Amino acid sequence: MLPIPYGRQSITEEDKAAVLNVLDSELLTQGPWVEQFEDSVAKYIGATHAVAVSSGTAALHLAAMALNVQPGQTVLVASNTFVASANCIRYCGGDVEFVDVDAKSYCLDIDELEKKLKSAPPGKYKGIVCVDFAGLPLDLEKLRRVADEYELWILEDACHALGAQFKNSHNEWVYSGNSRYADISVFSFHPVKHIATGEGGLITTSNKKIYEDLCLLRTHGITKNPDKFSKESDGGWYYEMQKLGYNYRISDILCALGTSQLVRIEQNLKRRRDLANTYFNALKDQPLTLPDPNRMQKHAYHLYVVRSSRRQELYTYLREKQIFAQVHYIPVHKQPYYQRLYGDIRLPNAEMYYESALSIPMYHGLTDPDQQRVIEVIKKFHG
């Protein structure tokens, strides 16, 4: 019996052909496929500008740099996330203050955030890092209103949410990560995500200045554009390093793979949503808390998180049956690094969530028989 992971990529013959096409070309990195991939993602979600980079973490780091995070500044971050959502602020020397999550959505609790802002001295905070956790889109329109009142920027971590949508106050469907309401949004294309490039990330923004900074910072802060030079060019070889940037470039090989996969994004999303509906209908009578399928948002289901009062036992039982669930995430404020920095912080909802959360297999390549196997094993566990 083959093992069933919690997530896995799907690679087609078309994907392989796209990669081989690049391998037969003259350029393997920073060639035409990078721009093609950026344009394709931007068009799909309705973003103004897009910058592809080497990973989701690189995207977060460059986003924090482009927002000019500085030592001595404090940024509010949702605690139920992967550590990179907070680390990007620390990379720039800024401080992080963690915010609790909503008890039902497990995303940033905007009401709790607003209470914190109301009780804080003016100017204490500079920005907000929010997360569309598991693929459920946060109400960015509501968050934007709060951020504007307190003159804060928003960095949206949409790494779980390519293709997710929420309905705004004008009854319009808005794609997560298109930076209509956030100053900057980021995506990841790790193999377990909706489209895979192996490693890779992408940043979107509607701000042209931020976009130009991101392009510069991605490649060591270097420009070869004569219009941007500080003096007259010495010749065709001339370039200038105008900022301290990084080598966060992504290759044409990976972008060709991503562009090929993006063609199937709606198919992938439909499959994930169908799998989620099957889980809900099959498990709703079990002693588990399941994702609410009736929310107004269009969930992307990067993860399917159930909550169990017997989480450890269920996790172990599934592993014994070759079903490999996972826990997303240990709250970042409980990590030793952050506890040494900021002490023992209490965030009740994030901690309660963590004590019972378990991500069961969810990926668009999951077959009906394998999903039924997962369901049957969970039911057998509960007797």
For 52, residues 6+ apart whose C-beta sits below 8 A from its C-beta are 34, 37, 38, 41, 200, 201, 202, 250, 255, 258
CATH of 265-382, one of 3.40.50.620, 3.40.50.880, 3.90.1150.10, 3.40.309.10: 3.90.1150.10
**Verdict on whether the full-model pTM lies above 0.95:** yes
CA–CA dist 156, 320 (Å, integer): 38
Backbone angles phi, psi at 128, to 5 degrees: -135, 135
Residue 256: per-residue pLDDT = 98
pLDDT digit string (tens) for 38-63?
999 999 999 999 999 999 999 999 99
How crowded is the C-beta side of 40, counted as CA atoms within 13 Å? Answer: 19
Domain with CATH 3.90.1150.10 in the chain: 265-382
pLDDT digit string (tens) for 311-363?
999 999 999 999 999 999 999 999 999 999 999 999 999 999 999 999 999 99
329 preceded by cis ω (within 30°)? yes
Domain with CATH 3.40.640.10 in the chain: 13-262
Residue 296: per-residue pLDDT = 67
pLDDT digit string (tens) for 62-77?
999 999 999 999 999 9
The CATH architecture of the domain made up of 13-262 is 3-Layer(aba) Sandwich (3.40)
Q: What is the mean pLDDT of residues 230-256?
A: 96
Which of 291, 288, 274, 293 has the alpha carbon at shortest distance from 381?
288
Angle between helices 311-320 and 368-382 (to 10 degrees): 130
How far lies 383's CA from each of 88, 310, 322, 358, 376, in Å?
45, 13, 19, 19, 10
pLDDT at 294 over 80: no
Give the rounded percent of residues in the chain with a pLDDT score beyond 90: 97
